[in-house]
Amino acid sequence: MNHRRTTPALSLLALSLAAAAAPARADILAEARISNFGYSLVDLRPRDGNAPGIAFSTLAPALGGGSEVNSEIGYLDRRIDPDGFGLGAQDRAQDGFRIFSPLSAGASLPGISTSGSMSGSLAQRSFSYGATGRFDLGGASGANWLGTGFRTDTAPVTAGPGGPGLDVFVLAPYTRVAWSGRASIRLQATDDLGPGAWHFTQGYVGFDLSSESGQRAQYGQYRSLNQQGPGKRVFEQAFRLGLSNNSATPLLVRMSAVSTASTQIYRPSSLAVSPVPEPGTWALLLCGLGLVGAAAARARRGHAGLAAPATVAA
């Protein structure tokens, strides 16, 4: 496992003029998490003398997979620098040898912090993976924070070069695997940002299974706040989905999983036009940190097609 922290050089003068330390309160909060996550096995032929089984693949890391948590902040306080040069912070934890590896990462600058973590046991259905971030405007108008934002992506199973999902586990003959967990998303804004500033705050959790036999089971939830004033969205749901191997030969199954929490302060060009920033705008406003990556694309796909759980029947 390797763990790398990258934080560009920060101006001591800027930090001394800004509010100190991470926020004790949050004017903007984003949390997205899957907890109590894991699997159970069902024997589809209990009288054949063979126990149901599942074996997690060691091939996935060799294809470029593994586990990863990535936290990033783009920070622009225009009271300090009217030109909006900005600061940045990033922390990344990665295990290129194991999936569902216990990892954590977090980044913080004065008044803003974001972090992600994953830990627990799949077999005991106690695994949890999530992302969170909070931002305290320090009593200043949102116009002073244009371009500021955070993003954390937590991925227990990352995608290899062939695209999303890897051959993650092998299901024994005549075995059904049932995955279950509890999804939660919490988005909250407590203050009005004032004229000329909106926030786009979002949370996403997702889990996807597909087998070489053509079965597929997906679960995903996306919520967002895109406004100027206070607001709140809270979502919680237990879910269950699975796949079955009804054959006498082992079955390869691909999997992907991610949770994302993010926010962005921006100036809408017009209230009559949707103020959601395009991906290029995100990258520009956040000082080249590139907070829109592969997980953002997964989040957008989840928003479009994963509004409700789907279960593949045995």
Tens of pLDDT along 157-187?
875 544 444 568 899 999 999 999 999 999 9
Statement: residue 188 has pLDDT above 70? yes
Region of residue 98 (phi > 0: left; psi between -120 and 50: alpha; otherwise: beta): beta
Which range among 58-62, 81-85, 98-102, 166-170 shows the weakest confidence by mean pLDDT? 58-62
Statement: residue 207 has pLDDT above 50? yes
Band of pLDDT at residue 143, cut at 50, 70 and 90: confident
Choose among 296, 271, 302: nearest CA to 281: 296
Q: CA 63 to CA 162: how far, in whole Å?
A: 8
Mean pLDDT taken over the chain: 77
Residue 249 pLDDT: 95
Tens of pLDDT along 234-284?
999 999 999 999 999 999 988 889 999 999 998 875 333 333 333 333 333
